[in-house]
Structure 1
């Protein structure tokens, strides 16, 4: 089976579940101790995201946006409430099962790229494929994805030989490597100039169209948020509004 066929099969498989709910956030709260008192970071957030949507979570510093992102990515636990990904509750899993779930279901893209400096672009994309069981050749899968993000000429370059925009493209390819249900990006354009930031957002839009993946971007920038189909605006630990709401369901 050639590399293009692999991509087409991935696309067709994802399109079958295009209208299914891939993320179900149910009344999430987060309370942290502050001396003898406590502070409520999240105060009851609920929404659903369906397959193949491109959603932005937007809010100013201190709004609870980053806390929410950590919880829906399985990096933190809520005080109360649940997060279901593909119908599986990730909020009460032990760390071993949760690590496996993140590997299979969630691709992460970070503002600072988080690439391993001693590895090539291809090797960085391969890394998640050595955790758990994944079909096919890791090297072939990595080359396929780097080609998909426009970096077929950079397979053997290390991060310090790549521009910031190219490093973020490698990070996006790595996030897609395990064929996750969704890709979560935390301020993915935050370290890029306007031109490269726009290029990354265009890439994400094109990848969503090509692969049928669900993309969720957290950002404080309304211009970045406007690239998504729907924006969930977080203010003071609550969902202030969703714009527009054809696919996202509030509860």
Structure 2
């Protein structure tokens, strides 16, 4: 398995945002998590990244305890094992797509030539121009594909996506959703998508609802998710 969340609890003040959450994701598997705004979906992803420390329970990514690692060890394990796609991409608009993707490899210690080679191959595969245009000049769908390429450049075993289609129009949403859900099989990675969009969630092999701090299997015959991004 690439991700194991067990008995995860996290609270803010007197409110228990996550209440004994359990989740297992294997390589080649896609999972969608939906729920109302503010239910803790993004908090769960931050715990998986090791950016938020739970009050109880544990998170294991590729045999590494994200809730126990700290400092450089956590940073190294995250860079080597996890790729993250955010709703707004979190890209540097003044850089070219090639630079935005390669920089993630460089920060992980990949040699410069290899980082740029990987970046160019990924962008070409994902249909993003590599002619040097600034990332800020690309369409929303193209920018999100750059974000996906950046998340993949270090060849992670686990890919996390936080509302990856939330800022896109319907056409770009379909393109990016198609891309994301093809990745587990093509890259043999695990994929966890947090989304309030029922159509995007419905593409996953496994679907869950996060409500009242608990994660439950979503009915396959009914739409999932309401509200805005958390």
TM-score by length of 1: 0.83
In the alignment, is the contact (CA less than 8 A) between 1:72 and 1:83 conserved in 2? yes
Consecutive unaligned residues in structure 2, runs of 5 or more: 221-230
Instruction: Determine if the alignment matches structure 1 residue 143 to structure 2 residue 133.
Output: no
1:90 aligned residue (66, 85, 109): 66
Q: Match of 1:24?
A: 4
Per-residue CA shift, 1:203-237, capped at 9, x if unaligned? Answer: 11233332222211101121110011111211110
Shift of 1:82: 0.4
Instruction: Determine if the alignment matches structure 1 residue 201 to structure 2 residue 181.
Output: no
Q: Match of 2:215?
A: 239
TM-score by length of 2: 0.90
1:95-114 aligned within 5 A: 95-114=71-90
CA separation in 1, counterparts of 2:206 and 2:219? Answer: 5
Look up the SS of the partner of 2:168 in the other structure.
coil
Per-residue CA shift, 1:43-76, capped at 9, x if unaligned? Answer: 1001211111111111111222121121112221
**Larger-Rg structure:** 1
1:53-68 aligned within 5 A: 53-68=29-44
RMSD over aligned Cα atoms:
1.5
Q: Match of 2:26?
A: 50
Q: Match of 2:159?
A: 183
Consecutive unaligned residues in structure 1, runs of 5 or more: 1-20, 245-251
CA separation in 2, counterparts of 1:208 and 1:148? Answer: 15
CA separation in 1, counterparts of 2:131 and 2:180? Answer: 20
CA separation in 1, counterparts of 2:97 and 2:108? Answer: 21
| Aligned residue pairs, count | 219
The alpha-carbon distance between structure 1 residues 243 and 216, as it changes in their structure 2 partners (threshold 3 A), is farther
